[in-house]
Structure 1
């Protein structure tokens, strides 16, 4: 018997299992979706993590989720980490999580299918596509939550086709033509993907081949931001339904869960600044710059004469160590109260939505792009790796809500470029107007968009 959310004879809660991969970029959309399903739609949620792969920051978010009082149950799978790190343990965490599939299948059979109500759907990560075949054994609908853009999803789905056709991804002059999508230049393709035997390339190609087998694909975007890409995906007959369910963040919930010294310091400082005067500078949870680039960024911020709040990370994920003397001597004394530097995790949505924040200097991780635009803040794009180059093009070309820094031949963004870019992003009213327009449409999407009752009825045709 097939029952939908609106079926009057359905008396039990819907029970959904969610299984994200490692990394905040993947983790946060799953957390927000879990909260949304529980708060707005009354779902019971089992949130699964691979215990050894969860960072302290991820752990803190999971603990908040567990203490929220919602019908959300946390399960930790015990697994062994992969030894195949290739200089970046982040990708090894992906492999280790994939290695947890036997434990995941055992959890299904021994626990989740025996609960009342039993699990009736699974929402998995694009990195964890082996869950699709496991769920198929038990006839459980399984959906993929794609944590990045529809543009990047199109690339992932087309990459195995282009690879089979002999496309040379390492050719720096090649342009990849994906039907129905903007042309993809070599500089926008993740650098790791250009290395034939790289672990990221293997995972990405495998995911691109397996994701079409899902019952549906959820994408953390909204129609007005990526209409062309979404239409192109939906026109493909070899794909399951594609649902734009973004923006996946809950502003009120995000801002109510922080209670630490970093938040108090940041907000106290922001409260003392004039409206629309502060440039927020952050490059995400994984990124750290070279000492040379940190110096140029610091001096550029000083030259710009703009107020700034800078989240400065000096340690890198790949184990290369910490950067010594992260800012030039005397820098903090010279900028004085005009600038603030913090080195820990901060409540980003609360900062971006603060009345004093005027612009966002960002690496263009997708979560940061969505949060920045939905807070009405124009973005100075400074992509570093992965999908960030594609995301930057969405900000600049699609949304018309930002500009991109120019790097020198040595890969360094000069202090002069930083200063001019920061000044321009604050002063250009056209970029601010575009960002505010997307803010309004994004907030409407939060309320009426992909997670509405109507779309849930269409998506979750769940087996009883």
Structure 2
């Protein structure tokens, strides 16, 4: 695994030169935001960072902090039109789940413009120029030839570009190490083919120690889909398997050994290249804003909800949010409403309309009279909710979540909140099993075959976590886990170590 470090400095003792890193996430805010957090940390360490996205996403992510503007630039590439993709759709937040494959097809259309930018920067470097960038907030090119490209799982078309120009690459996965271990490398899947749903309901044979890695039946059927071709013409796993090319020097995970012990050495062996943590990339501070977030409406103040939270007793409210991409149905929303009402708990619910559900009325998905019956102890808010700001509030004592990795990082590892867990797809089931094993959360019971759940089970699980003695033990465990995993100094050390890897393998 070890490679000889290149000599980067001049005289002995001189500081190594700063890197130019191109950072290019997939078009989902759950990916773009962690990629941007990593970009900010690299820029704060003096490195030049070019963040690549599309025009609408660049605007929705917000302005680069003024103190970083000299080192962190955003380059926006226009997304090509694809038949069947809605006009203006540039992220997974803009399309229903069944059209994400078309978004990947449009994303693949960025190969040519990205190759053009790289070629210009490399030609400029060969000519001794200072770079082709404009220096604007949303620039038109790269400032100089990249030392490294940090890409996502989806850009299987970047490898030939990087190889042509001799640029090292790293894949940055915003998912936990557990899902990477469960999916496994190509050679292990070929040696141990998974051909039935049941094959995904047990721990893979290439993991040599006991874990909680197994899916429920309804989750297993969804995870098998990543091995099948989608509307883009290629499967997600075939995209990811391209990382075996030589120019992919590193695999970086938004995780750390404290959160997922034993998995980093195993993955390094399985994938035959360094698998290293970036740390959790926790935002530095809670932003005090009332504007709409990524993809938000921009016209609905959240100050009334914050005032309501201010009036609630400490640790008495359960915050409820199922993320922006979980395949939530109208039936799920209905049963969740019944469960919250019957739980008797105080709650703040970020209600998201299921894809394809007709609009009309403020909250047409909820049972008749729901808001009147829960008035005073419960708030249901449609549209964007400033999640980190809510999770940080002293009144919030637990989180009902789909167990997306980003939400788990924000709630449990940053604020030490116990979890009521309602996983749907991808890594969420694995995360829920692991958090239950750590004694920091309880899953809502579900039908093994179709994933449905009942309001009464939601109510009982919420009471277990927020009101009963078991909940106090869960809260103690969650706070202890936060102290270990959320250590800020250690998390920043992982970024420093990542920079060392980038220098060593460029």
TM-score scaled by structure 1?
0.87
Residues 1:292 and 2:331 aligned together = yes
Structure with greater proportional helix content: 1
Partner residue of 2:166? 139
Separation in 1 of the partners of 2:10 and 2:185? 33
Q: Using the alignment, how far apart are the partners of 2:184 and 2:37 within structure 1?
A: 25
CA contact (8 A) 1:4 1:461 kept: no
| Separation (CA, whole Å) in 2 of partners of 1:371 and 1:407 | 25
Q: 2:48 aligns with which of 44, 51, 56?
A: 44
Q: Conserved in 1, the CA contact under 8 Å of 2:40 and 2:68?
A: no
Superposition deviation, residue 455 in structure 1: 4.1
Structure with bigger gyration radius: 2
User: Take 2:122 and 2:461, find their aligned partners in 1: how far apart are those partners?
Assistant: 52
* Among 185, 189, 193, the residue aligned to 1:158: 185
Deviation sequence 1:136-183 (CA, Å, 0-9, x none) = 222212111111010111233336632564321434785333324635
Given the alignment of the two structures, is residue 231 of structure 1 paired with residue 236 of structure 2, yes or no? no
Distance in 1 separating the partners of 2:260 and 2:500: 23
Report the Cα distance in structure 1 between the residues aligned to 2:226 and 2:492, rounded to whole angstroms.
38
CA distance in structure 2 between the aligned counterparts of 1:453 and 1:163, rounded to whole angstroms = 36
Q: Are 2:240 and 1:221 aligned?
A: no
- Which aligned pairs between 1:165-314 and structure 2 lie closer than 5 A? 165-171=192-198, 175=202, 176-180=204-208, 182=211, 183-185=213-215, 187=217, 188-189=219-220, 191=222, 193-194=224-225, 197-199=228-230, 202-213=234-245, 214-236=248-270, 238-252=271-285, 254-256=286-288, 259=291, 261-287=300-326, 289-314=328-353
Matched, 1:443 2:477: no
Give unmatched runs, 5+ long, in structure 1.
none
Instruction: Confirm or deny: 8 A CA contact 1:18 1:48 kept in the other structure.
Output: yes
Match of 1:3, SS? coil
3-state SS in 2 of match to 1:199: coil
**CA shift at 1:220, angstroms?**
0.6
Structure 1 residues 383 and 7: CA distance shift in structure 2, 3 A: farther
* Gap regions ≥5 residues in structure 2: 1-5, 86-95, 125-130, 132-142, 293-299
CA distance in 2, matches of 1:196, 1:440: 37
Post-superposition shift, 1:46? 0.7
8 Å CA contact 1:300–1:417 kept in 2: the answer is yes
Give the structure 2 partner of residue 72 of structure 1. Answer: 72
Q: Is the 8 A contact 1:160 1:208 kept in 2?
A: no
TM-score by length of 2: 0.80
Say which of 457, 462, 465 aligns to 1:422: 462
Mapped pair 1:31 → 2:36 = yes
SS of residue in 1 equivalent to 2:374: helix
The residue number in structure 2 matching 1:401 is 440
CA RMSD, Structure 1 to Structure 2 (Å)? 3.0
Residue 383 of structure 1 pairs with residue 415 of structure 2:
no
Work out whether residues 158 and 178 of structure 1, in 8 Å CA contact, stay in contact via their aligned partners in 2: no
Q: What's the offset of the Cα at 1:198?
A: 3.9
Q: Secondary structure at the match of 2:430?
A: helix
Question: In structure 1, how many angstroms separate the alpha carbons of the residues matched to 2:216 and 2:383?
Answer: 34
Matched, 1:358 2:397: yes
- In the alignment, the residues of structure 1 paired with residue 364 and residue 215 of structure 2 have an alpha-carbon distance, to the nearest angstrom, of 36
Aligned-residue offset at 1:229: 1.9
Corresponding residue SS for 2:181: helix
Provide the rounded CA distance (Å) in 1 between the counterparts of 2:186 and 2:152: 18
TM-aligned CA deviation for residue 366 of structure 1? 1.2
Deviations 1:310-338 (A, max 9, x none): 0001141xx46559821111111111121
Picking from 149, 157, 163, the partner of 1:122 is 149
Residue 92 of structure 2 corresponds to none
